[in-house]
A and B are shown apart, each in its own frame.
Chain A
Amino acid sequence: MFLVDEPPPSPPAPAVTTAARPSRARRAGAAAVPYLYLLPALAGFAVWVYLPLGDTIGYSTVSWNLLPTVPKVGVGLANYHRVLDLPELRQALGTTGFYLAGLVLLGVIVPVLLGAATRKLGPRARAVYHGALFVPVLISPIVAATVWTFLLAPNGGVVNELLAHVGVGAHNWLLDPGTARGTVVIIAGWKVLGASVLIVTAGLASISPEYHEAAAIDGAGRLRTFREVTLPLLSPTLLFLFTTAVLLSESQLVFPLINGLTAGGPGNATTDLYYLLYSFGFTSFDVGLASAAGVLFFAAFAVIAVGCVALLDRFSLYQD
C-alpha cells in the first residue's frame, strides 16, 4: 500500500492578547487628519475661486452698475439673452478663434519644428539658442506690450526703420484693422515660443533613441520616422502644449497684451472674449451682462478643458 506524503501541518495559532480598540473620539480624530491637511488649499480655492464663481452666477441674473448704493434688480435670464444677441460677441468669438489658431501655430507647431531641427545641434549651441528664445518668457506681458508699442511706433519705431531698409513703407501695425490682430498674436507667440521649444526638447529627449534606430534599420526615411515614430511618441507633450495654449495663454497672456497694445481697438478688431467680458464689466459697468458672459465662457471653456484632459489621458498611455 502507499502512504501519501502529507504537507506539513500548520503550527497552532500563537497565543496573543488583543490590543484594546481606540475610543470613538480618537478614531474620528484619526479619520479627520487627511481632511485637515487639505484644508488650507481648499480654503484658498473657496475664497478665490468658488465664492467668486457663485457670486458671478448670482450677478448674472441682476441688473447693477457696481455702485454699492445702487440696488441690484433681478432680471432673470434677460442678461443671457442680451449676451447672445450682441453683435460684438460674434466678432469677439472670431477674434478668439484667430488668436487660438495663432497660438497653436506659434506655441505648438513651430516649436515642434524648431525642436526637431535643433536636435542635432551641439549641447552648447543648443543652450545658447534656447536661452535666446527663452528670454521673452521672462518679460512681464505689460512690459512687453509697452516695449513693443515703442518698437512698432508708426514714426521712428525700430520695426518700420528696419523694414524701410528692405523697401517696405511705414505702416501703423496696431491701428490698421487689417494688421492689428496679427501683430497681437505674433507678439503673444514670441512670448510663448521659448517655453514651448524647451518643453518640446524635453519631450524629444525622453523618447528612447532605440525607436529611431529601429526605424532606421526597418528602412524608414527621415520624414516617415518623424511622422510615424517621433510625432506619436511626442503626442503627450503636444497635447499638453495645445491645452496650455488654448486654456492658459489665450486668457492669461493675450489679455494683458491687448490691454497694453490696442485696448481692444481699432474698433473692436483686437477684442477677444476675455477683453469683451472685461469691457462689459469695467468699461460699461454692466455687471449683469459681464457676469452672464463670464458664466457662458466658463461653461464653454470647461467643455473644451474636459475634452483636452480626456485626450491627454488617452495619449499619455503611450509612455511605459
Chain B
Amino acid sequence: MAGIVLDRIGKSFGGSVALDGISLDVADGELLVLLGPSGCGKSTLLRIIAGLIEPDAGRVIIGQRDMTGTPPRDRDVAMVFQSYALYPHLTVRRNLGFGLRARRRPRAEVDAKVTATARRLGLDGLLDRRPRELSGGQRQRVAVGRAMVRDPAVFLMDEPLSNLDAQLRTATRVELAELHRSLAATFVYVTHDQVEAMTMATRIVVLNHGRIEQVGTPADIYAEPASVFVAGFIGAPPMNLLPATAGGARGQVRLHGPGIEATLWDGTLDERPVIAGVRPERLRLVSEEHGEPAAGEVGLSMTVTAVENLGGEEIAIGQVGEQRVCFRGERPLAVTAGQPVRLRCPAADLRLFDPGSGRRLRWVPDPDVRDPDVRDPDVRDPDVRDTDLSDTDVPDPVGEAGRVSR
C-alpha cells in the first residue's frame, strides 16, 4: 500500500506544454480521479506515474520512495489501459499470469493467484479463451484481473470504461468502486466522464491545459467550483454562467447585467465586472406578478427556446441576455418554447468568478465582523477592504490548492 506524491511535474512534447508544474498528493487507499477534456494532460500524468513517460521536470514519489527514472516494473504499479492491451495471442489464463511469470514466480503460485483472481471477477469459465473470443465487458474484466493478480500498491486506470456501452459502463462503475473498497489500494483513475468522476472518486483533480484547476471531493467540486472552467465542465447541463456587474454603494452589494438582477448582501464594493454562476436545479420559476427580486435573491428574465423531457425531470433551455441558460425541475415545468419566464434563486446559491482569470471570487465580510478563520491576511490592510471581492482564488505554482483541500 502506498500513497503518491507528485512534485512540480513538467512535461512538454515538441514545444507544446502538456503538464505545467503539477503537484499533487494522493493518499494511501484513495481513489483519485484525474478529470478533464481531451488534451488536458491527464493521460500523460498517469503515464508519468506509471513510468512509461519520464517527466522533463519534477519528482514522482510512490510510497515514500523517489521513483523518478525508475523503470515501470520496479514501481509496484499496475495499469488498465483504455484499449485493455490484452495480449491477443495468449489465453485469458496466460494474460492474467503474464506479470507473475515475468517476475519468475513459481508455477504453483501463478496458477493459484490466476485461479483466485478469475473466480473473484467471474472469469472462471473463460480461462482458456483468447481475447477476441470475449465480449467487451469480459475483456475489461480480464484487464482489471491482470492488474489485480500482482497485488500492486497502486492501480492506474486510463479511461477503463470508455469502450463499454452505457448500461455496462454503469454496472462496471459500481463494481470498480466496490473493488477499490475491498482492495484498499490506491487508485488513480483517468476519465473525461464526469459521471464516473462524481460517483467513484474520493477526490477529483480537474485538469485543463496541463494545469490543475481544482482538487476536491466530488461534492466540493460540484457545489464550489474554483473557476469558470470547472463550473462549465461539471454538471449536465453545466452551471449557467452570465456576465454581470457587481457593486455596492448604499451599504448593499448588488448585481446587475443583461437579464439578471440581484441584491446580494450588505457591504460596499466598487463596481467591477464578474461572471455570475448558478446551477440549473437551483433556479425556480416564479409567476409574473413577482416584481423585483427581494434582498438576498437573484432574479433572471429568460425567454424559453426549448424544453427537454428527461422522464422524471424537464430541462428548459432559453436566453438570458446573450447567454444560454438552463433550468431543471420536476416534470412538468409548465413552460413552452417562446414563453418569457422569471426565475429566482437564493443569493447563497450564486457563485461569482473573475472574468479575467476565470477564478472564483469569494466574498469576505468586512474585517470588523468577519469570522476569525477567514484565511486571507491581505484583508487586514484597510486599503483593500473595498476590493475584497477581487480576492481571486488562484492556486500557487506548486499546487498549494492540491495540498490543502483534502
Contacts and interface: CB of A to CB of B under 8 A. Distances in A.
Partners in one complex: yes
A217 B89 contact: no
Given A210-B81, A210-B83, A224-B102, A217 B88 contact: no
Interface residues of A, number: 22
Given A208-B83, A210-B81, A320-B132, A218 B88 contact: no
B71 interface: yes
Contacts, number: 67
User: What DSSP secondary structure best describes chain A's contact surface?
Assistant: helix
Given A218-B98, A224-B102, A213 B89 contact: no
A217 B87 contact: no
Given A232-B89, A320-B88, A320-B132, A218 B99 contact: yes
A170 interface: no
Contact of A219 (B47, B88, B89, B103): B103
Given A217-B78, A218-B73, A219-B73, A211 B85 contact: yes
Contacts of B50: 213, 217
Interface string B59-90: 00000000000011100011101010101110
A214 B73 contact: no
Main secondary structure of the interface of B (DSSP, over half): mixed
A214 B102 contact: no
A220 interface: yes
Given A210-B83, A214-B79, A320-B132, A220 B98 contact: yes
B103 A214 contact: no
Interface string A282-320: 000000000000000000000000000000000001111
B93 interface: no
Interface in A213-238: 213-221, 224, 228-229, 232-233, 235
A218 B145 CA distance: 12
B73 A233 contact: no
A232 B78 CA distance: 23
Contacts of B99: 217-219
Contact of A218 (B83, B89, B102, B132): B102
B55 to A, nearest CB: 16
B52 interface: yes
Contacts of A221: 73, 102
B52 A213 contact: yes
A228 B47 CA distance: 23
Nearest to A232: B89
A218 B150 CA distance: 8
A3 to B, nearest CB: 25
Interface in B36-51: 47, 50-51
Residue picked from A219, A221, A228, A229, most chain B C-beta under 10 Å: A219
Nearest to B71: A216
A176 B132 CA distance: 55
Contacts of B203: none
A214 B72 CA distance: 10
Contacts of B73: 216-221
B85 A210 contact: yes
A155 B73 CA distance: 58
A217 B50 CA distance: 7
B211 interface: no
Interface string B223-240: 000000000000000000
A208 B85 contact: yes
Contacts of A319: 88
Interface in B93-129: 98-99, 102-103
A213 B98 CA distance: 13
A220 B51 CA distance: 14
B82 to A, nearest CB: 8
9 contacts: A213-B50, A216-B51, A217-B50, A217-B77, A217-B78, A218-B150, A220-B98, A235-B89, A320-B132
Given A217-B72, A318-B89, A319-B88, 18 more contacts: A208-B83, A214-B146, A216-B51, A216-B52, A216-B72, A217-B52, A217-B99, A218-B98, A218-B99, A218-B150, A219-B99, A219-B150, A221-B73, A221-B102, A228-B98, A229-B87, A232-B89, A318-B88
